Amino acid sequence: MERSEIKFWNGSIAVAEGALAAGCRFFAGYPITPASDIAEYMALRLPQEGGVFIQMEDEIASIAALIGASWGGAKAMTSTSGPGFSLMQENVGLAAITETPLVIAEVQRAGPSTGMPTLVGQGDVMQTRWGSHGDYETIVISPSSPQESFDLIIRAFNLAELYRVPVIFLTDECVAHMYERVVVPPKEEIEAVERLKPNVPPEEYMPFKPINDIAPMATAGMGYKVHVTGLTHNEKGYPMTTSPEVQEWMVRHICDKIRRNEYKMRDIEEYRMEDAEIAVVAFGIVGRSAKAAVKMARRHRIKAGLIRLKTIWPFPESYFESLADDIKKFIVAEINYGQVKLEVERSVHGKASVELLPKFGGAVHQPSEIYEKIKEVKNGN
């Protein structure tokens, strides 16, 4: 029996090593600060593991290559930051409509536009959800530490394979660059999910007909001669560009397979929530200062708690809705001008107050800033 290994890794290495552990064997990317470390590390490691690394001519090409590689049968990943992720959006839609498993590691920096390339941001939450046109769903996961970068990127791959969907691993400049202890479990303890393959003869195979929400996926060379298109298509994969019924069926399918299973993807860390009256909602790097702030508040006998979202999309709406029966005050701390806050507000259906604690300037909230906000909310202004 092999034992766990202790590593001292930053969040980028942890993402790359986690991806390899999950079975990633294809990486296509384009240099961008602060995400290049992941690409550089993959360039070093992938060939050692028998995989392929390619630096493409831009981010559009990178994600197109990922979709191609995924249909070629590989587990595929890219890494990028906000501007590059913006460029990828049309093909995020292609991956969603063609139900292609892949993982995008998005290392957030301060935007908009070229913004502050070396400084942290969390302004891409809505882009991960709504970046491409039309109705679709993605899964978005956010780590707070190198350890979680390792653990959760494996989960990201598994969910991508399980639900045939692009998964965005929404990390940030701080988590990606911070070095910490990472416990790497022995190989046999890492669960890597493989996509469902068809077991029917090619004549009977319907590449987009779901069985329990998900259609088995026949990749290139398996003999199923699948047609895959970004046009609205039927269960056979054939374009149906004027059929209202097919469009409705298809859109409902690609959205509902995620919405219906939200509770299975839900991943929330609760800290001191048992008797909390004020809940601080945070994700990514801010989760850490929010936790420190909650501890400060508790030392001052303020009943604060932390809700840290590890899965951001699909948003745990019903979780917040029922929580709002007991908790009447929410603070959302995020390094942007209000994104997750909108979702929390929507989810509590007016049963609780939701306040934004934004952060500007490419920095993380200090615990004391969050603590001050908790006090302010507690005192009711």
Q: Which region among 21-29, 121-129, 134-142, 311-319 touches other proteins (by CB under 8 A)? A: 21-29
DSSP code at position 272: S
184 near other proteins (CB under 8 A): no
Instruction: Name the helix (H) or strand (E) containing 356.
Output: strand 353-358
For the CB of residue 218, give the shortest distance to other proteins in the complex, in Å. 8
When binding is defined by CB under 8 A, the residue of 7, 36, 56, 190 that contacts other proteins is 56
Phi–psi pair at 230, nearest 5 degrees: -80, -5
Nearer to other proteins, 179 or 238 (CB): 238
Nearer to other proteins, 10 or 98 (CB): 98
Nearer to other proteins, 53 or 371 (CB): 53
When binding is defined by CB under 8 A, the residue of 33, 54, 234, 272 that contacts other proteins is 54
87 near other proteins (CB under 8 A): no
58 near other proteins (CB under 8 A): yes
When binding is defined by CB under 8 A, the residue of 238, 263, 337, 360 that contacts other proteins is 238
Q: Which region among 2-10, 24-32, 252-260, 350-358 touches other proteins (by CB under 8 A)? A: 24-32
When binding is defined by CB under 8 A, the residue of 52, 190, 292, 342 that contacts other proteins is 52
57 near other proteins (CB under 8 A): yes
Q: Say how many residues touch other proteins, by CB under 8 A.
A: 46
Q: Are strands 116-120 and 102-110 parallel, antiparallel or unpaired?
A: antiparallel
The residue type at 282: A
* HEC letters along 14-63: HHHHHHHHHCEEEEEECCCCCCHHHHHHHHHHCHHHCCEEEECCCHHHHH
CA of 237: how far to CAs of 41, 97, 163, 241, 336, in Å? 37, 10, 17, 12, 40
For helices 36-45 and 11-22, the axis angle rounded to 10 degrees is 50
Any idea how long the chain is? Answer: 381
Q: Which region among 10-18, 172-180, 221-229, 322-330 touches other proteins (by CB under 8 A)? A: 221-229
DSSP code at position 248: H
Which of helix, strand or coil describes residue 208? Answer: coil
Token digits for 244?
């209202």
Give the number of other CB atoms < 10 A from CB of residue 366.
13
Within residues 304-333, the interface with other proteins by CB under 8 A covers none
CA–CA separation, 120 and 170 (whole Å): 12
200 near other proteins (CB under 8 A): no
Nearer to other proteins, 16 or 281 (CB): 16
224 near other proteins (CB under 8 A): yes
Phi–psi pair at 252, nearest 5 degrees: -60, -40
Given a contact cutoff of 8 angstroms between Cβ atoms, the answer to whether 276 and 357 are in contact is no
Nearer to other proteins, 60 or 363 (CB): 60
CA–CA separation, 344 and 315 (whole Å): 9
When binding is defined by CB under 8 A, the residue of 7, 73, 292, 353 that contacts other proteins is 73
For the CB of residue 19, give the shortest distance to other proteins in the complex, in Å. 15
Residues forming contacts to other proteins in the complex (CB under 8 A) are 25-26, 28, 47-52, 54, 56-58, 60-62, 64-74, 76, 90-91, 94, 219-231, 238-239
